Amino acid sequence: MKITIEQADNGFIIFYPDYMEGADRKEIEVTKSYVVEEKGGEFAEQEAFVQLCLELIELLGVPDSKHNRRRVRIELTEENKEADQE
């Protein structure tokens, strides 16, 4: 599967293949798109990037369950203020 990601002024656009039934009942490949939009705020770019990563995990079918011993974990963390004070 080929997935293309374009960075836009306010987020990202993901282009990915999908299949649908044509008039002759044969499957044809089409390109779909999904927009990951920055919502605004101080960390909007980072939050949009996290959402982009989560969408890619779903598109690629990476299994994710709380019962897995190992999981892909993507999160936006707060800065460590205690480490900055030392």
Name the nearest CA neighbour of 56 among 78, 23, 84, 34: 34
Q: What pLDDT, in 10s, does the model give residues 22-36?
A: 888 899 999 999 999
What pTM does this model have? 0.76
Range of the domain at 47: 4-85
CB neighbour list of residue 4: distance below 8 Å, 6 or more residues apart: 14, 15, 16
Q: Report how many domains make up the chain.
A: 1
Q: What pLDDT, in 10s, does the model give residues 47-61?
A: 999 999 999 999 998
Tokens describing residue 31: 């390109």
Q: Binning pLDDT at 50, 70 and 90, where does residue 72 land?
A: confident
Name the nearest CA neighbour of 74 among 59, 65, 82, 57: 57
Q: Binning pLDDT at 50, 70 and 90, where does residue 71 land?
A: confident
